[in-house]
Structure 1
Amino acid sequence: MKKMLLAAAVMTLSCHGYAAQDPQAVYDRACGVCHNGQIPTAPQKGDKAAWEPRLAKGMDTLVQSVTNGLNAMPPRGLCMDCTAEDYQAVIKLMTE
């Protein structure tokens, strides 16, 4: 019975779409390589003016761009084990 309750709790939590990884850790190991200013076309973390037109496209579009790659950004943005929820959390971190 305890195993069934534990399994139900885990399934419930996994359905809410929370990031599995710490956004700052993902940024530090994958995203920051380009978004710290090394690639001039990559918007820097915290640069609200650079992120504004991108955010206007919507989060789904941004996640799709990361997943598929866009311009100089490689597919999956160098985070091969990230989920869509991880990408959303990192994008939110970078845009604040």
Structure 2
Amino acid sequence: MRLPKTWAVALALTVGLAACSQPVPPAPTAAQALALAPADARLAALYGESCKACHAVPGTGAPLVHDRKAWDPRWKQGQAVLLDHAVQGFQAMPAGGQCVACTPDDFNALIRFMAGREDPAG
């Protein structure tokens, strides 16, 4: 039996959307957040010297590293906006996130890491 073309398209969209809507992983515990670091040694050092002080400590107001529930609304603004916030500062975040050695590429990689989006397509 062959489905009408509109049904086939609707079925394909439904299956495709179901595959895209992966469950959001739970937020890390405080101990887990403190233990997380980028795989790249240079980025891990930059992260440890600057980002970690706020993004791995609950209660600072900063979204915790790998807390997709906290990061997803920010991520939807676009990486260009997040980069601007990191460079220029935003609300309680100081300009440059206190990382004087960070380049724009470093900031983008660190943002992807903290947002749980290490995969650039993510």
- TM-score range (shorter-chain normalised) is 0.7 to 0.9
How do 1:45-64 and structure 2 match up within 5 A? Answer: 45-64=65-84
Larger Cα-atom Rg: 2
Q: Which residue of 2 aligns with 1:66?
A: 86
- For these two proteins, the number of residue pairs brought into alignment is 76
| 1:12-58 CA distance string (max 9 Å, x none) | xxxxxxxxx82222111100011112553200001000000000001
Task: State the identity %.
Answer: 34
Deviating beyond 2 angstroms after TM superposition, the runs of 4 or more aligned structure 1 residues are none
Letter matched to residue 59 of structure 1: Q
User: Structure 2 vs 1, CA of residues 40 and 90 (structure 1 numbering), >3 Å: closer, same or farther?
Assistant: same
TM-score by length of 2: 0.58
d(CA) in 2 for partners of 1:75 and 1:26? 15
Structure 1 residue aligned with 2:111: 91
- Once residues 50 and 60 of structure 2 are traced to their aligned partners in structure 1, the CA distance between those partners, rounded to angstroms, is 17
TM-score (norm 1): 0.73
CA deviation after TM superposition for structure 1 residue 65, in Å: 0.3
* Alignment gaps of 5+ in structure 2: 1-40, 117-122
Any idea what SS the aligned residue of 2:47 has? helix
Counterpart CA distance in 2 for 1:49 and 1:92 is: 14
Instruction: Point out the structure with the larger helix share.
Output: 1
C-alpha separation in 2, matches of 1:39 and 1:74 = 17
Unpaired stretches in structure 1, ≥5 consecutive residues? 1-20
Q: 1:27 aligns with which of 47, 67, 86?
A: 47
